[in-house]
Amino acid sequence: MHLVTAEEMRRLDRHTIDTIGLPALVLMENAGRAIAEAALALSAQLELRGGPARWLVLAGKGNNGGDGLVAARHLCEAGAETAVVYAEPPERLTGDAAVQRDALARFGIAASVCAPGAIDWRAYDGVIDALLGTGTRGAPREPYASLIREANASGLPIVAADIPSGLDADTGAVHEPCIRADRTVALAFRKRGLALHPGREVAGDVSVAPIGIPAWLAETYGVRAFHLDEAAVRKRLGIDPSLPRRTDTHKGTYGHVLVAAGSLPMAGAGLLCVRAALRAGCGLATWAVPARLAEPLLGRVPEAMLAPLADGGRGDWAAVPAEALAALCTGRSALVLGPGLGRFEGDSAWLRRVWEATAGVVPPVAADAGTAAAQAGDTPGAAAAAHAAAATTTADAACAASVAAQAGDTIGAAAITHAAAATARATTAADAASAASAPARAAANRSPKPLPLVLDADALNMLADADDFAGWVKRPAGAPAVLTPHPGEMARLLRCTVPEVQRDRIGAARSYAEKHGVYVVLKGAGTVIATPAGIAYVNSTGNAGMATGGSGDVLAGIIGSLLAQGWDAEKAAAFGVWWHGRAGDRAAEARMTTASLMAGDIADYL
């Protein structure tokens, strides 16, 4: 379950040897035996030409090579025909690897030294790659490089010891050349590079072999990266993926998500997001949209409620005050903001007001609608009043009224209805404002209730453009922010390049999460989830069919829905990502090819 770096692995090795007292040779013996067992299991699946399987072990001069020599002994004992090719003259082996070299010679196992081009690969049924492990520095040099190329070209099945030779154990970068393994037996712990792309693709099926280093030691040594598979979902996150429900519950038990998404021409983003949120189990979903979109969208997701926000007839968010959206948050349990939102003048400041309102701060702009209303602390009423003040048409003012009404703010609603009438009469914003502010002044004394926030797509671009983000109010416990950037958005947030993000995905997500106290979901193959406390997960589910427009909108809806159900952000983000990927895998299985996958399919397979 843990994902370790080469350096962490060295420390765990040392502790086991020096403090626990297990000799390194014992670990190596366990490692080699596990590799041999994997090879034998593979032999059983191969169509052999009648006799026993013939294995060729490629051994480097370090401990990875030592593991391979142990495997050769066990293969031989199990009756397989086994030969060893040393990458370097065997005299160069030292320490435990040298002990294995001598034992191997006494066993009578055939061994030779690599001479590029001299191996007759047709004489073997399979290859054990024990050339390079976690001690690798840079791209494989000769003669390792030639051996790797020849082994790949042989077409034989390859079992890699610990990591495929040529893989960067920490980053998943694949050097040229690099072994393309069918199986990898990770020793004691899965190395990060086996979970991160592109490393994951060259590792084949990965299993983790216990070799005597206790799993709990990883906790002691503060290893805080995890492979997110079903075992981790169940054991580490403590989640049963069938999401059982108590019988005696009702829709109010499962939270109410507010999705603010969609604009012309990206209304579909909101559609996907809201559908996914409902499929992910929230009790209720409200979809806030620019008013112009409301009518065509009515009934498209019959299970969701539509909340049209006055947009000056534009069909986008440019004329929708942040306070109008903030007002809608009352009575909701999470807000998803971003899919299909678009960009507009002043949007970073707009986002800040939404951020602060959902963090429980009264937006300063509320004061403009009537200082008294703001002082009374009635954010929905004040915000709706502000909205009405900004409204220049009767329709917009009526829209503001519906916002206030949905926020459960009857006084505010009355104020805005009044404003609508005033606008109809006087058609000036000033009239609307004064009409609105009087009843709003009488509004009840309430502060906005903090609620969890998911920021996706353009909301992330707005955030990236906010030079003052470091000064934004810190979110209280219970109102976490989950950011779901793809690598391009992550690069904008970090103000670096996409290749820099991709070179160290865990580092990129973790550094931003720790610095800003947010949860980061860095999407893409092997999505990384990072928490403000420095914990990171690398997801194991999903497929390239999910590289299709709208998949991210589905993910944002899932995470928002789980947050609305009261899940803590680490569980909501990690499980949401895993579930999204698994639904994508199931949807792909149902079709002939992953290429056919559409984002809506992912929501359908939740």
Ligand X SMILES: NC(=O)C1=CN([C@@H]2O[C@H](COP(=O)(O)OP(=O)(O)OC[C@H]3O[C@@H](n4cnc5c(N)ncnc54)[C@H](O)[C@@H]3O)[C@@H](O)[C@H]2O)[C@@H](O)CC1
Ligand Y SMILES: Nc1ncnc2c1ncn2[C@@H]1O[C@H](COP(=O)(O)OP(=O)(O)O)[C@@H](O)[C@H]1O
Q: How far apart are CA 440 and CA 602, in angstroms?
A: 44
Near ligand X in 161-190, by CB under 6 A: 161-162, 187
Query: Bridge-partner residues for 537, per DSSP?
Result: 226, 529
SS3 483: strand
Q: How far apart are CA 571 and CA 521, in angstroms?
A: 12
Partner in contact with 165, chosen from ligand Y, ligand X, K ion, none, beta carbon below 5 to 8 Å by kind? K ion
Q: Check binding of 136 to ligand X (CB under 6 A).
A: yes
Q: Check binding of 138 to ligand X (CB under 6 A).
A: yes
φ/ψ (deg, to 5) at 111: -140, 145
Residue 451 identity (one-letter amino acid): L
Q: Check binding of 24 to ligand X (CB under 6 A).
A: yes
Instruction: Please choose, from the candidates 214, 211, 206, 174, the residue with its C-alpha nearest in 3D space to the C-alpha of residue 190.
Output: 206
Question: Which stretches does DSSP call E strand in 220-290?
Answer: 225-228, 256-260, 284-290
- Please pick, from the candidates 552, 557, 560, 576, the single residue that binds ligand Y as defined by CB under 6 A: 552
Q: How far apart are CA 397 and CA 506, in angstroms?
A: 47
- Please pick, from the candidates 3, 4, 12, 31, the single residue that binds ligand X as defined by CB under 6 A: 31
Q: Check binding of 36 to ligand X (CB under 6 A).
A: no
- Which region, judged by CB under 6 A, interacts with ligand X, from 25-33, 309-317, 342-350, 395-403? 25-33
Contacts of 72 (CB under 8 A, 6+ apart): 32, 36, 55, 57, 59, 82, 83, 84, 104, 109, 128
Rounded to a whole number of angstroms, the minimum distance from the CB of residue 82 to ligand X is 18
- Which region, judged by CB under 5 A, interacts with K ion, from 155-163, 362-370, 502-510, 518-526? 155-163
Strand order across the 183-187 sheet: 110-113, 81-86, 54-59, 126-130, 158-161, 183-187, 205-209
Site string for ligand Y, 470-489 (x = CB under 6 A): ----------------x---
Site size with ligand X, rule: CB under 6 A: 28
The three-point CA angle 365-366-369 to 5° equals 105
Q: Count CA atoms within 13 Å of residue 519 on its CB side.
A: 28
Cβ proximity to ligand Y: between 20 and 595 the closer is: 595
Rounded to a whole number of angstroms, the minimum distance from the CB of residue 602 to ligand Y is 8
SS3 183: strand
Instruction: Please choose, from the candidates 381, 362, 401, 399, the residue with its C-alpha nearest in 3D space to the C-alpha of residue 441.
Output: 381
Q: Check binding of 405 to ligand X (CB under 6 A).
A: no
Q: Check binding of 165 to K ion (CB under 5 A).
A: yes
Read off the DSSP letter of residue 596. Answer: G
Q: Check binding of 553 to ligand Y (CB under 6 A).
A: yes
Q: Check binding of 114 to ligand X (CB under 6 A).
A: no
Q: Check binding of 546 to ligand Y (CB under 6 A).
A: yes
- Please pick, from the candidates 28, 161, 194, 278, the single residue that binds K ion as defined by CB under 5 A: 161
Near ligand Y in 577-596, by CB under 6 A: 580
Distance of CA 61 to the CA centre of its chain: 38
Near ligand X in 51-70, by CB under 6 A: 60-67
Q: What token pair was written down for 164?
A: 């495929």
Rounded to a whole number of angstroms, the minimum distance from the CB of residue 151 to ligand X is 15
Cβ proximity to ligand X: between 86 and 537 the closer is: 86
- Please pick, from the candidates 55, 86, 124, 144, the single residue that binds ligand X as defined by CB under 6 A: 144
Q: What are the helix (H) ranges across 137-214?
A: 144-154, 192-195, 199-202
Q: Give the count of beta carbons closer than 10 Å to the beta carbon of residue 314.
A: 16
Rounded to a whole number of angstroms, the minimum distance from the CB of residue 176 to ligand Y is 22
- Please pick, from the candidates 4, 12, 27, 272, the single residue that binds ligand X as defined by CB under 6 A: 27
Q: Check binding of 550 to ligand Y (CB under 6 A).
A: yes
Residue 411 identity (one-letter amino acid): I
Partner in contact with 524, chosen from ligand X, K ion, ligand Y, none, beta carbon below 5 to 8 Å by kind? ligand Y
- Please pick, from the candidates 28, 266, 301, 399, the single residue that binds ligand X as defined by CB under 6 A: 28
Cβ proximity to ligand X: between 34 and 491 the closer is: 34
Q: Check binding of 543 to ligand Y (CB under 6 A).
A: yes
Contacts of 357 (CB under 8 A, 6+ apart): 322, 323, 326, 329, 363, 379, 383, 448
Q: Check binding of 429 to ligand X (CB under 6 A).
A: no
Give residues in contact with ligand X (CB under 6 A): 13, 24, 27-28, 31, 60-67, 132-141, 144, 161-162, 187, 211
Give residues in contact with ligand Y (CB under 6 A): 457, 486, 523-525, 527, 542-544, 546-547, 549-553, 555, 580
Give residues in contact with K ion (CB under 5 A): 129, 160-161, 165
